Structure 1
Amino acid sequence: MNDYTFSRWMANTPGIDSMTLNELILPGAHNAGVDKKATYVTPGVSHWAACQNNSFYDQLNNGARALDVRVEYNLDARGVGTFWFQHNGFRSSRSLENLVMQVSRFLQENPDEFVLLDFHELKSAQAPFDYKEFNRFLLTHLDQRIIPFGNRYMNLGQLKRDSRTQRVWIAAEYHPDLDQHWLLSSIQHEWSGESLTSVEEVRALIARVTQNPPSSRVPWSLSATSYTAPGGPTDIKEHLDLWFDPAPDSWILKCSIINADFFEESKLVSNCRTANIIKAQALNK
Structure 2
Amino acid sequence: MTDIINYATHDWMAATPSIDSLSISELTLPGTHNAGSDWRASYPVFGPPRHWLACQHDSFHAQLHHGARVLDIRLAYEPKAEGVGRFRAHHGGHRNSRTLGSLITDVENFLKQNPDEFIVLDFHSLDGNDFDYDYFNKMMIHLLGHRLIPSRNLSAGLGQLKHISKEQRVFAAARSHWQLDRHVFIDYINHEWSGSDLTGSAELKQFIGNVLKSPPGAWKPWSLSATCYTALGGPVDIHKELNEWFDPDNSDWAMKCNVINVDFIEESNIVSFCRAVNQTKAHQRPVDRLLA
TM-score (norm 1): 0.96
Aligned counterpart, 2:116:
112
Aligned counterpart, 1:284:
286
Deviation, structure 1 residue 249: 5.4
> What are the equivalent positions in structure 2 for 1:40-79 lying under 5 Å apart?
40-41=43-44, 42-76=46-80
Q: Deviations over 1:1-47 (max 9, x none)?
A: 55421000000000100001110100000000000000112445211
Task: Answer whether contact 1:22 1:256 (CA < 8 A) is retained.
Answer: yes
Aligned counterpart, 2:164:
162
Aligned counterpart, 2:139:
137
Paired residues, number? 283
| Structure 2 CA distance for aligned equivalents of residues 144 and 78 of structure 1 | 23
| Structure 2 CA distance for aligned equivalents of residues 85 and 7 of structure 1 | 24
Task: Answer whether contact 1:4 1:13 (CA < 8 A) is retained.
Answer: no
| Structure 1 CA distance for aligned equivalents of residues 91 and 68 of structure 2 | 19
Cα distance change on mapping 1:84 and 1:103 into 2, 3 Å: same
Question: 1:128 is matched with which residue: 127, 130, 136?
Answer: 130
Q: In the alignment, is residue 211 of structure 1 matched against residue 238 of structure 2?
A: no
Give the percent of matched residue pairs that are identical in Structure 1 and Structure 2. 48
- SS of 2:178's equivalent in the other structure is coil
| Structure 2 CA distance for aligned equivalents of residues 97 and 80 of structure 1 | 5
Aligned counterpart, 1:89:
93
| Structure 1 CA distance for aligned equivalents of residues 68 and 47 of structure 2 | 28
Q: Deviations over 1:206-261 (max 9, x none)?
A: 10011000122011000000000000000000000001001375111000000000
| Structure 2 CA distance for aligned equivalents of residues 32 and 266 of structure 1 | 16
Q: Which runs of 5+ in 2 are unaligned?
A: 288-292
Q: Deviations over 1:172-195 (max 9, x none)?
A: 000000000001000010000011
Deviation, structure 1 residue 205: 1.1
Q: Which residue identity is paired with 2:236?
A: T
Q: Which residue identity is paired with 1:140?
A: H
The alignment yields a C-alpha RMSD, in angstroms, of 1.6
| Structure 1 CA distance for aligned equivalents of residues 92 and 268 of structure 2 | 25
Cα distance change on mapping 1:128 and 1:17 into 2, 3 Å: same
Aligned counterpart, 1:37:
40
Aligned counterpart, 1:7:
10
> What are the equivalent positions in structure 2 for 1:137-216 lying under 5 Å apart?
137-216=139-218
Deviation, structure 1 residue 284: 2.3
Q: Deviations over 1:130-187 (max 9, x none)?
A: 0000101101100110000111111000000110000000000000000000010000
Q: Which residue identity is paired with 2:264?
A: F
